[in-house]
Amino acid sequence: MLTKNGKKLILTCVMDSYQTGPSSQPTPTSQIQITDTGGTERNTSTSTTNTSSFINALNHMATNTSTTSTTNIRCGTGTTEATEDDYKLEVEATGLTCDSVVTAVGSNDTKTYTATFSNTTDADITVTEIGFFMCYAYNGYNYSNFLLDHIILDTPITIPAGESKAITYEIGF
């Protein structure tokens, strides 16, 4: 389910692209409030964002896997139905490590992101929810992770102890 964060960012970026035109340096037109994974409302400006740079930001973030906290795909074990008010996973899975670069392929209409997660525990982990996150700037150069899309899986994915699985997430624009 597309969250309010995701809706606000996408709508604002599209509106800004219409207001600023194809200029290489769009002027600030919008300030929005989005909720980070800690539940804190953050003011963010789309002054440097238009539709194409928003997609570029998604592409850039897809290659940033220095820690699991910056990975754009996260796995969880929650089972409560996803809502547009979600700002984090219900229960983020522990013991999963994103051990491959998240790749983004596709056009400006659709992007497919794939990440490989390894189970570093001695027990199986059953993934029941997946979230797509974006690291986004607020108040200048401070960054935080924001949940853009959240789904509860109809068919859970079990990652056996010591094994890895690739998880793919497709987003259409």
DSSP string, 68-119: GGG-SEEEE---SPP-TT--S-SSBPSSEEE-S--EEEE-SSEEEEEEEEEE
Confidence band of 103 (pLDDT split at 50, 70, 90): low
Task: Enter the DSSP assignment of 26.
Answer: P
What element of type H or E holds 150? Answer: strand 142-159
Distance separating alpha carbons of residues 53 and 60, to the nearest angstrom: 10
Q: Answer whether residue 14 shows pLDDT above 70.
A: no
> Is pLDDT above 80 for 173?
no
- pLDDT at site 77: 96
* pLDDT score, position 1: 81
pLDDT at 45: 60
Range of the domain at 97: 4-172
Looking at residue 55, its pLDDT comes to 55
Its pTM stands at 0.74
What's the structural domain count of the chain?
Answer: 1
Q: What pLDDT was estimated at residue 141?
A: 67
Contact status, residue 153 vs residue 11, Cβ threshold 8 Å: no
Mean pLDDT across 70-93: 89
Task: Give the best-scoring range by mean pLDDT among 69-83, 120-134, 159-173.
Answer: 120-134
Q: What is the pLDDT of residues 33-78, one digit of tens each?
A: 888 888 888 877 654 444 445 555 555 554 444 444 445 788 999 9
- Rounded to an integer, the average pLDDT of 110-122 is 87
